Structure 1
């Protein structure tokens, strides 16, 4: 991320900042996609069809028990960025100019991450609620026709 940021910052700090926003959105989307895949019945059925079920099951179980999501890693990364931005604010000569620009430009990215994450969660919750309401509505309509 740092190298991409410094490369984009060579053209414009705005490009670097927009690249960071794009990265946040990409990570949230990939994280949601991976969670949906792991929760799907299709993943379980593919695991059952495999020849060496024990190895696949243990590897997936190990992944689920030991790994943390990309989103959690990104949150942790931005917490460190926020802390380091305050340190750089007090002592600007502590790090190089490029690293200082990177940290200071990303210091508020955790707020964007939280905002985008909440928006995705709200859309997902709204979609589930609307599907449930639609199913109840269709059930009521079919019962009233009978």
Structure 2
């Protein structure tokens, strides 16, 4: 029996069902993502490219076999459930309220699953929430775009 995730799309949510071994390792049976946070959906031919650094405390793996759990990074956290062979389905999200920044999943047929997610997203007219990173940076830094320096003590500017 091969360990892969199963996807369901119902009531405006993408639900990922984990196999029982991965569910025990991840300490959850399902992962839910509202379709309004759906961003890019793609298939990554190499599973290891979908994994970002710094695993969170709930991250579990078996070297050369599988990895499942949360991975934290500067933009948020990812949920991964991957086998160490074959392509991976990568679902990127948008919006600050999204539970995860990205889902990386091993499925039976990632190309077909990606196509079905795209079809449902366009059928329900789900528009991704865009973020203007430049505007967000200006708000964080200040309106003039420059950080204030403390005055110099030697009399120079």
Taking structure 1 as the reference length, what is the TM-score of the superposition? 0.32
Taking structure 2 as the reference length, what is the TM-score of the superposition? 0.30
Q: Tell me which protein shows more strand as a share of its residues.
A: 2
Where relative contact order (Cα < 8 A, 6+ residues apart) is larger, the structure is 1
Q: Tell me which protein shows more helix as a share of its residues.
A: 1
